[in-house]
Amino acid sequence: MTRGRPGVGLVTCAVLPEPDPDAAPLADALGAAGLDPVAIPWDAEHPAGAVPELCVFRSCWNAHERPEEFLSWLGARSGDTRLLNPPPLVRWNFHKNYLLELARAGVPVVPTRLFRRGDPGAALPEGPGWEDVVVKPAISAASWRTHRFRAGARSEAASFLSSLLAERDAMVQPYQAAIETAGERAIVWIDGAVTHAVRKSPRFSGGDESVSPPLPVTAEERRIAQRAIDLVARRFGAPLYARADLVPDATGRLRLSELELFEPSLFLAREPAALARFVEAIAREAADSRRPAGGSPA
């Protein structure tokens, strides 16, 4: 870290599975704001004193492949640095069971059936709307091991579900066909406010992410995203940042497909105002982390 400049750790992984388009603009903007951004791979050793007092989760994009190790790291690191978003929130968001909790609280969520590892009674949901399904792990990222099975491929879907459940928790959702036309909209929320949205193209295992330029956020998109984040804030405190992914269902009603709270791309290069807001919030949190209790910054 550079002497005299407050360090900010950006939590990542030792080998990124794909490029992080937010990394360079965020690091440059933090540097311009007088901070010293330091990459902190969660899956690497760090010498004593090398981890800054404040660390912000950004691209720990292999954590889903080693969940027990990641959660162990999270617990160990919580004692020697301030992590944002905070560890209790990250633990909650790490497993897609959170979707069921949000649905029970009244958030319109894409219908989700969750199965625990080794569940002997696990079976694909039946009935209208469940002919075309997506099957994926309950802890996943970047569409890892996420597959769509169209109507007529029930046996293949059941076999894939069984293979997942032999190793881990898994989930089934009805495929939302509107993602091919209206698209999935990623609503970005930073430091208390929605900043922008982008349209994401469908992505499955092995595919690349493709997103639009920034788009205006509709009143309904803002309402659903804020509803979900408000529920999170009441339980864990307000997050520093969040991304709510929304898609229309077969009736046109918007539904939440993901609420990402510790590793989402925020598409900062596409919206300079959002980048500036993020950097300002991180700078404030860094100053607070350096401030002794009841005193001025150290």
What was the pLDDT predicted at 294? 47
Structure tokens at 170: 């898994």
Q: Among 115, 175, 135, 141, which residue's Cα sits nearest to residue 258? A: 141
- Average pLDDT on 251-272 reads 95
CA–CA separation, 271 vs 264, rounded Å? 15
- Average pLDDT on 121-150 reads 92
Angle at 55 between CA 53 and CA 61, to 5 degrees: 155
CA–CA separation, 194 vs 217, rounded Å? 8
Structure tokens at 227: 């509803």
Under the banding of pLDDT at 50, 70 and 90, the label for residue 91 is: very high
53-70 core/surface letters (b: 16 or more CB in 10 A; e: else): bbbbbbbbbbbbbebeeb
* DSSP codes, 104-129: HTT--B---EEE-TT-TT-----STT
Architecture of domain 113-175: 2-Layer Sandwich (3.30)
What Å distances lie between residue 104 and 47, 96, 279, CA to CA?
A: 44, 14, 34
Average pLDDT over all residues of the chain: 92
Of all residues in the chain, the percent with pLDDT exceeding 90 is 82
Domain ranges of the chain: 7-85+270-290, 94-109+178-261, 113-175
Q: Among 209, 197, 202, which residue's Cα sits nearest to residue 181? A: 202
Domain 94-109+178-261 has CATH 3.30.470.20: yes
Under the banding of pLDDT at 50, 70 and 90, the label for residue 256 is: very high
Tell me which fold the domain 7-85+270-290 belongs to.
Answer: Rossmann fold (3.40.50)
CA–CA separation, 273 vs 269, rounded Å? 10
- Average pLDDT on 148-172 reads 96
Say what the alpha-carbon torsion angle 165, 41, 272, 2 is, to the nearest 10 degrees.
170
Residue 60: which H helix or E strand, with range?
none
Under the banding of pLDDT at 50, 70 and 90, the label for residue 217 is: very high
Q: Are 142 and 17 in contact (CB under 8 A)?
A: yes
CA–CA separation, 184 vs 199, rounded Å? 6
Gap between the terminal Cα atoms of the chain: 16
Residue 9: which H helix or E strand, with range?
strand 7-12
Which residue is it, tokens 């309950």? 138
What was the pLDDT predicted at 59? 96
Q: Is the pLDDT score of 298 beyond 50?
A: no
> What's the pLDDT tens digit per position in 266-292?
999 999 999 999 999 999 999 987 655
The alpha carbon of residue 222 and the mean position of all alpha carbons in its chain are separated, in whole angstroms, by: 18
List Cβ neighbours of 149 (8 Å cut-off, separation of 6 or more).
Answer: 132, 133, 134, 135, 156, 157, 160
Q: Are 225 and 194 in contact (CB under 8 A)?
A: yes
